Structure 1
Amino acid sequence: MRKEVAAVFQQRADQFQEQEKQTGSKSSTVSWLRVLVFICGAGITYFLFRNYNPTAGIIGLILSYMLFIVVMRWHSRLNYTYTHFKLLRELNLEELDRLQGKLQKLDKGEAFTDNQHPYTSDLDIFGDNSLFQLLNRSITSLGKTKLASWLQQAALPAEVKQRQEAVAALTKPEQLDWLQHFVVMPRHHKHTEVPSSAFFEWLRENSLYKKHGYMKPLLFILPVLTVAAIVAWFYGFSGYIPGAFLLLQFLLAYRFRTIRDDYYEKSISIYEAMESYTRQMRHIEQHETNAALLTSLKNKLFYKQHKASEALGKLAGIIDFFSYRLSTLMAFFLNTILMWDFLWIYRIEQWRDQYLGQVEGSLEVLANYEALASIASFQLANPAYAVPEISDVPFEVTATALEHPLIFVSERIANSFTMQGAGKTIVVTGSNMSGKTTFLRTVGINMVLAFTGAPVAASQMRVAPAQVYTAMRTVDNLAESTSSFYAELKRLRILLNLTEQGIPVFYLLDEILKGTNSRDRHLGAMALIRQLHRRTASGLISTHDLELGAMEEELKGSVENYSFNSTIEGDKILFDYKLQRGLCRSFNASKLMQLMGIAIEE
């Protein structure tokens, strides 16, 4: 199946590469045409001015300028198309890298790492070789933050089903072009990690014209009077009047220089994002779908017959005009004569009053669409993955051919597994490196995928809603004078507190209490299992402590033993990585120590 999927991505990459070459060649031709139009226009205009009259020269200049603008815009569109094909090619090559496990260059989602989170650190949700790298296709802070929040917090069953339906709609064969075009649109623009919502929050709290009401009439009157006075001066009237108006404008600009700079710097910082969001929302507004969630999201982009894309486009246009101040000479004349900065600050505040509420809601729509597009792309890359069923049976986890999605080998070992009911504990024993910890992570990461609304690395899976909680990578902290054993105890204390809240908790505990002596470890682990048995919790515990296997007799029907085993042939230790019923009966620690040079007598 993976070979067929890889072939599709490679074919699309080759197709887009060919279109990229063709468009690039055409763009180069039009670029030379633009130069030719400029030279010919300048020559014709010069000829008309010299041999005829100024009117003919002006007409020639205007027509030449209009033709140049037409060719320039044509060239700009071709450049955009060329870049778009290039980005589509790169996206499909990126999909091939994901299939091969080459995740190093992809966004790790490090901003979302949290060692105190119930499971993200232990299950490699963020960071190097992480689930986020495998899932995320977004480059905007909106899309990345939304997807990260879905991975950090399980959705309600109804919401999971809505997302699954939306993903199914986006993964139809006829939707592939729409989906990939949507994914690469924001890649035309530079995006900062600071969310656009920060600008909108700042804009809501600041208002130049409400705080300084006298500025509004001055904005409309003073530039007109200044221009009129300058024109009058050309006709012989006193120069003191335009000088006074120019001085007044200069003083106003100086008085509000900090505010003007603040408005400009904050608005220009989101200009690229607004251009990107405008194109993306226009793409969504034109999207035809029957999926309930997608339809609901799309409808939110329309408000009183106003499209969200139009509202954002207007803001991008305002910021673009505002940016004319970047030219020092232009800024001097515009701000000294026309109060340029004040005009566009006024337009921004007008825009805020009319569109801000709609736009803030539309950004949430876009964030959801981007997160769904990431999950849909993940599903397209892994068509053999199953869409999990949300179970009504408490603590049910039933999976067939369950695999770890972050293990990239030609033949991954799959295990089938089932458990259900509160107060259940699966004790997984096994020799070193036999796969017991990886199995716990396999169960956990697929549960996270299921609760996100994503497909799971299995041929079938049923899972009941629960709060996943892990204790696997507890380490010491010198800054806090905390040993690894005490860090693990604190982690287990959080688990016990969590189970007191009445919510279903599914725990995955690896080698619990490994930092103490065998007697205390054994007593503590048994006490913990008994305590969890009486609460709204179930889960898996991996251990080398075979004595924990006796709990199966003590708590019949509530504790079950499973294991991973290995065999030793000469100096080789062989693993099958298959989950088996019962306690582990084969151990390899002595053999491993011998292979490392430690002289252990047989």
Structure 2
Amino acid sequence: MTDHQKKILGRVRLISVLRAATFFLSVAIIFLWAPGEVHVLPSLPGWIVFLLLVRWHSRVKRKNQACTNRLSYYNSWRQRMDDSWFSREEVVPAEDGRAIERDLLLTGSYSLLAYLDQSRLVAGGSTLLRWMHEALDAPSAEDILSRQKRVAALSRLTVLQGRWYGHEKASGLSTPSRPGIPPSELNESSGKQSGGPEMPSARRADSSDDATNSTSEEPAALKTVPAWLAGLAGLLAAFSLGAFFSHEILGTRAYHFLSFPAQWITFGVYLLFYRSKEARARFNEILDALDQTLPLLKSLYSFRFHSSVLARERELTRNLRSELREAIFQDSLYSVFRNPLAFAMGGLIFSGPVLADWSMGGFLKRNEERIRNWLKDFAALDAMLSLAGHQRFLEPGCWPVIASNEEVSRPCVKARELHHPLLPASKSVGNDMDFLPEHRLWIITGSNMGGKSTFLRTVGMNLVLAQMGGAVRASSFTFSPAPLITSMQIQDNLARSESLFYAEVRSLKRLVDHQAPVFYFLDEMLKGTNQKDRSFACRKILSHLIESGSAGMLTTHDMELTSLTEGYGSMVQLFHFRESPGEGLQFDFKLRPGSVEGTTAITILRNEGLPV
């Protein structure tokens, strides 16, 4: 606990004591001002002071909670920079998404999404996932640069980040592979299951608009309480309450005994015919989103985005208070009657649920599309702040540069000190790479446990970050956008009666059928069959990919494949990883040109006590 928090907690305790003392003093004045009589008026100053203390207490408690939330945010990034985040026992890859998510550790408990996601809104995490899927399908250079500039501008606004992360992370439905993301968003983002989710889907036509991009259909026309029923309920409620107070204060006749039954009949008509489950679901969906968003909006009331690249955010917050005043009122009014007891009592006494339903329905008919666009804008802002925080604490880190040469129409990657995004600094080793536009295939050989598969993921995950518009973990990084495809962690599938070899065949078929150019990552091709057939098939498939214009990387132990350099010259490059010289089995995880000499398989088997 910091000194500032201790000071705030001391103030909270002091105000609590003053509140209690003021309350009991005010109660005592009521009964003791004149013994034997009850006097409320003399206690009025005490109650005013009590209410002021309640308001002050609430503000101080919110300030204390904001400090706690900010510390939690900074501690989470501190943990990400040491071994504590990476040594969690539960490391579960995504099982329900596209194969590339599993291959590149994009989703799951130990994944790029879990590492990046510091969003305060459930929709913010959904937006990050959607951007990740768009990155796999190669968004345009203009879209990437536009978002990158906005994220870079946000990363410099530390005051805004302090305000934003002073709020608690919104709770919501989650799955192990996509924490905090509602199933409706998952269905939108992850594509079809089983029948070919691994191949990146066609890029959405409107993906250039971060804030309003959505594949959901237009909402159906909203059916809600008719105006005549709301008017009748309101008139009966006003008459009933007026008659009741007139009877109690002025002693008039109890006409409310006549109007209350009519009011209850009106409430029954509403329950039977006009309380639409669909409308309530729409109301609750928007109210839940507003309940998450409004605290964040309030932190932006006095904030000004001066950067020209943040024009959309500046326009969003310019007249925020006046534009959302009605939304805040409707949220407060309708939320009162979401409680079952308040719903029943309000309906029987003053027709509150009928009027709230009618008011909310009219409000949404006028403003639903605009509110949904606001919510999408703030979800995009939330997601960009997650990317901005990632850049702020990235070491090493840089903004990727898109290759500017107009003749570069094929995938290329040039990086210095390229690190795996998920490995802590104590375990990460940087590598340089220069995958030129004229290169078609890198064949990477090397010792077992030498780092071949990890290097593929290092390149792939940093490309995903770059194509999302985020920073990458390298000292410099230049690339040309391209669709990404993987065939790495292939598994058999008993439910589909699919063997390991057939699963590999289907995965490679999707790669071959995809329109070139793509950037692919292959790890130990066709390991489910014998060496003779594997070597023949791999050479044919790789030759087809080279000639089709695609580019990629292959890790293999099949040294015969290195002879592809004889037929394709500089289009095929050889690299390897090897163990470090010295006693024992040690690796430096540095990428070197050429093919490997010797293996470590027998040594590893012997070290584990196997009889070899």
Task: For residues 544-586 of structure 1, give each alpha carbon's deviation from its aligned partner in whole angstroms, at most 9, with x where no partner exists.
Answer: 111101100111122121111236756x223222211111112
SS in 2 for 1:555: helix
Query: Are the counterparts in 1 of residues 80 and 86 from structure 2 also a CA contact under 8 Å?
Result: no
- CA deviation map 1:87-119 (0-9, x unaligned): 12222222211111433799x999x94655262
Aligned partner of 2:100 in structure 1 is 119
Residue of structure 1 equivalent to 2:464: 448
Q: Give secondary structure in 2 for the equivalent of 1:418.
A: strand
Structure 2 counterpart of 1:226, one-letter code:
S
Within the candidate set 115, 132, 139, 1:151 is matched to 132
Distance in structure 2 (CA, Å) of the matches to 1:109 and 1:61: 61
In structure 2, distance between residues paired with 1:230 and 1:201: 49
Give the direction of change, closer, same or farther, for the CA distance of 1:296–1:285 in structure 2 (3 Å limit): farther
Give the match for residue 296 of structure 1: 312
Match of 1:540 among 546, 553, 563: 553
TM-fit CA distance, 1:209: 2.3
Take 2:326 and 2:342, find their aligned partners in 1: how far apart are those partners? Answer: 27
Residues 179, 194 of structure 1: alpha-carbon distance in 2 compared, 3 angstrom cutoff = closer
The answer on 1:559 being equivalent to 2:572 is: yes
Deviation at 1:525, TM superposition (A): 0.5
**CA–CA separation in structure 1 for the residues paired with 2:91 and 2:365:** 35
CA contact (8 A) 2:123 2:181 kept: no
Shift of 1:130: 1.2
Provide the rounded CA distance (Å) in 2 between the counterparts of 1:355 and 1:488: 50
What amino acid is aligned across from residue 170 of structure 1 in structure 2? L
From 390, 393, 403, the equivalent of 1:381 is 393
1:131 is aligned to 112
Aligned to 2:597: 585
C-alpha displacement of 1:308: 4.9
Which runs of structure 2 are paired with 1:65-84 in the superposition (5 Å)? 65-84=47-66
* CA 1:66–1:267: 2 relative to 1, 3 Å: farther
Which AA in structure 2 matches 1:59? L
- Size of the aligned set, in residue pairs, is 565
Equivalent-residue separation in structure 2 for 1:231 and 1:116 (angstroms): 62
SS at match of 1:185: coil
Letter in 2 for 1:166: R
Evaluate the alpha carbon distance shift between residue 598 and residue 47 of structure 1 in structure 2; reply closer, same or farther with a 3 A threshold: closer
> Displacement of 1:136 after TM fit?
1.2
1:33 pairs with one of 9, 13, 18:
18
Residues 105 and 112 in structure 2, CA contact (< 8 A), matched pair in contact too: yes
> Contact 1:282–1:309 (CA<8 Å) still a contact in 2?
no
Q: Does 1:277 align with 2:293?
A: yes
- Aligned residue type for 1:67: V
Q: C-alpha distance in 2, partners of 1:378/1:487?
A: 36
1:149 is displaced (CA, Å) by 1.2
1:495 and 2:508 aligned: no
Deviations along 1:396-418, one digit per CA (max 9) or x if unpaired, are 11111111121225253221111
C-alpha contact 1:308 1:359 (8 A) present in aligned 2: no
Cα distance in 2 between the residues matched to 1:298 and 1:121: 38
User: How many Å separate the matches in 2 of 1:58 and 1:218?
Assistant: 38
Partners of 1:90 and 1:521 lie apart in 2 by 51
TM-score (norm 1): 0.85
* CA deviation after TM superposition for structure 1 residue 220, in Å: 2.6
Post-superposition CA distance 1:22-73 (Å, at most 9, x none): 1111111111211122122222233457689x8xx45335444333222211
1:168 aligns with 2:175: no
Shift in CA distance, 28/319, structure 1 to aligned 2, threshold 3 Å: farther
- Output one character per residue of 1:158-179: Cα deviation in whole Å (capped at 9) or x when no partner: 222222222222233xx32321
What root-mean-square deviation, in Å, do the aligned CA atoms of Structure 1 and Structure 2 show? 3.2
Q: 2: distance between equivalents of 1:216 and 1:203?
A: 24
Q: Within 1, Cα distance between the matches of 2:117 and 2:438?
A: 34
Aligned to 2:361: 349
Question: Structure 1 residue aligned with 2:239, among 225, 240, 256?
Answer: 225
Q: Deviations over 1:100-144 (max 9, x none)?
A: 1433799x999x946552622101111132112221111421110
What letter matches 2:128 in structure 1? L
Q: Distance in 1 between matches of 2:308 and 2:561?
A: 49
Q: Secondary structure at the match of 2:569?
A: coil
Shift of residue 257, structure 1, vs aligned partner: 3.2
1:256 aligns to what SS in structure 2?
helix
TM-score in terms of structure 2 length: 0.84
Deviates more, 1:123-132 or 1:219-228: 219-228
Counterpart CA distance in 2 for 1:293 and 1:530 is: 45
Mapping of residues 101-500 of structure 1, within 5 Å? 101-103=83-85, 113=94, 117=98, 119-154=100-135, 155-172=139-156, 175-187=157-169, 190-191=171-172, 205-210=221-226, 213-230=227-244, 239=254, 241-257=255-271, 273-301=289-317, 307-323=322-338, 326-327=341-342, 331-332=344-345, 334-392=346-404, 393=408, 394-410=410-426, 412-421=428-437, 424-499=440-515
Code of the residue aligned with 1:360 in structure 2: it is R
- Does residue 528 of structure 1 match 2:541? yes
Shift of 1:290: 3.8
Q: Which is further off, 284-293 or 584-593? A: 284-293
Q: Distance in 1 between matches of 2:498 and 2:18?
A: 70
Q: Compared with structure 1, are the counterparts of its residues 598 and 207 closer, same or farther at alpha carbon in structure 2 (3 Å cutoff)?
A: closer
More deviation in 345-354 or 355-364? Answer: 345-354
Counterpart CA distance in 2 for 1:201 and 1:592 is: 56
**Identity score, percent:** 24
Q: Tell me if the contact between 1:204 and 1:352 (Cα under 8 Å) persists in the aligned partners.
A: no
Counting helix residues as a fraction of each chain, which structure ranks higher?
Answer: 1
